[in-house]
Structure 1
Amino acid sequence: MFEGANKSLYKELIVPGFEDCDIALNVWGDCMVPALNSGEIVLCKEWKESFIEYGYIYLIITRENHRMIKYIQPGSEADMISCESRNSFYKPFEVNKTDILKLFVIKGHIERSAM
């Protein structure tokens, strides 16, 4: 799924209602609080459409291997997207669509409440 990743690190995870998801990964940081909290697991499906459905939360992987979880909105120009955090401390920024290597829509998340 991720280029250069060690496949032995991956485990199959089946969550009822999310069987169509491709990957699950941990959230780190506070930029998406309160929508997503650090330590939660997000369930992601690769977005393969030629258009972007704005207003949803996505995992964005750029050609430079930057990975971020953001709301996506239209950018200031047709070839740009605006990446927005839920936490208002973080300001929106734009990414050129051609810089996106992979895009995954966040279909859900799992919160761990005990060890």
Structure 2
Amino acid sequence: MKKNTNFFERITELIHYKRFRSVHDFAINGLGYSSSEKLNRLKKEGTRPSYDILEDIANKFDDINVDWLLTGRESMLKRVSEFAGGKEILPAPIISMHRKTIDTIRDIQDVPLYDLEATSGLVELFKGSSGEAVLDRIRIPGIANCDGGVYVKGDSMYPLLKSGDIVLYKKVNLDKIFWGEMYLLSIKIDDWSEYITVKFVQKSDLGDEYIKLVSQNQHHQPKDMLMEHINAIALIRASIRLHN
């Protein structure tokens, strides 16, 4: 851990570790302050924290090493007082953030998680007309820009994806496909209905008017599909599996 960080920078690192959106979010929802003014004053070089800030952080987050917060010494997390075979177990190391990461913590994207059953389909969802279908927000540092997330249904991509997993997607045009990548697709069944699925998209042997949709599950056969039957398509950026 660097010794030359100031108190505000260590608070920012704590905010990143605890996954708050910003200093304001940490002050309001983490410490129960009415504003972030008290913490923002600590940005000024040489400003010292008041005792009540240290006390509030220590009371709210009992895993945080207050000595680290005050001086920058030792590690962010307290030493774990457990032993296995006479050997002390220490918390996993915290990776020091680059200054750029600290400065851009406010810019971590909020990805809306949508309920597809509450929308009129993937096409309408991609048009941005389904704000009422947002179930929650997902925040994962370091991933490429995403437009949204949905729950996976079915077993065609098992074991890579299983029903109930979440995929985060980025809308693309059919002429911008990266062959072999995984996509979320809306396939036209008739004038009133669509089939929504996740597949690997490959070039078809039938010509440029087709694409080949390939499943991970070996019990699902590849299928060539006319491009004109694809209503909407999005590149899968990330997947999330929830474990009970």
Matched, 1:12 2:137: yes
Q: 1 CA distance for matches of 2:123 and 2:132?
A: 13
Q: Secondary structure of the equivalent of 2:198?
A: strand
Q: 2 CA distance for matches of 1:35 and 1:99?
A: 26
Alignment of 1:1-115 (within 5 A): 2-3=123-124, 6-10=130-134, 11-18=136-143, 20-48=145-173, 50-64=175-189, 65-75=194-204, 76-114=206-244
Which segment is superposed worse, 10-19 or 85-94? 10-19
Task: For 1:3, give the aligned amino acid.
Answer: E
Which 4+ stretches in 1 moved above 3 angstroms? Answer: none
Q: 2 CA distance for matches of 1:52 and 1:93?
A: 17
Residue 62 of structure 1 deviates from its aligned partner by 2.5
Q: CA RMSD in A?
A: 2.0
8 Å contact kept, 1:84–1:92: yes
Q: 2 CA distance for matches of 1:13 and 1:59?
A: 18
Q: 2 CA distance for matches of 1:97 and 1:49?
A: 8
Which segment is superposed worse, 18-27 or 45-54? 45-54
Q: What is the TM-score normalised by the length of structure 2?
A: 0.43
Structure 2 runs not aligned, ≥5 long: 1-121
Q: Percent of counterpart pairs with the same letter?
A: 26
Q: Secondary structure of the equivalent of 1:88?
A: coil
Structure 1 runs not aligned, ≥5 long: none
- Quick one: structure 1 residues 30 and 63, their matched pair in 2 at CA, closer, same or farther if it must change by over 3 Å? closer
Higher relative contact order by CA 8 Å / sep ≥ 6: 1 or 2? 1
8 Å contact kept, 1:30–1:37: yes
- Quick one: structure 1 residues 103 and 97, their matched pair in 2 at CA, closer, same or farther if it must change by over 3 Å? same
Counterpart in the other structure of 2:11:
none
**Aligned positions, number:** 114
Q: 2 CA distance for matches of 1:29 and 1:102?
A: 19
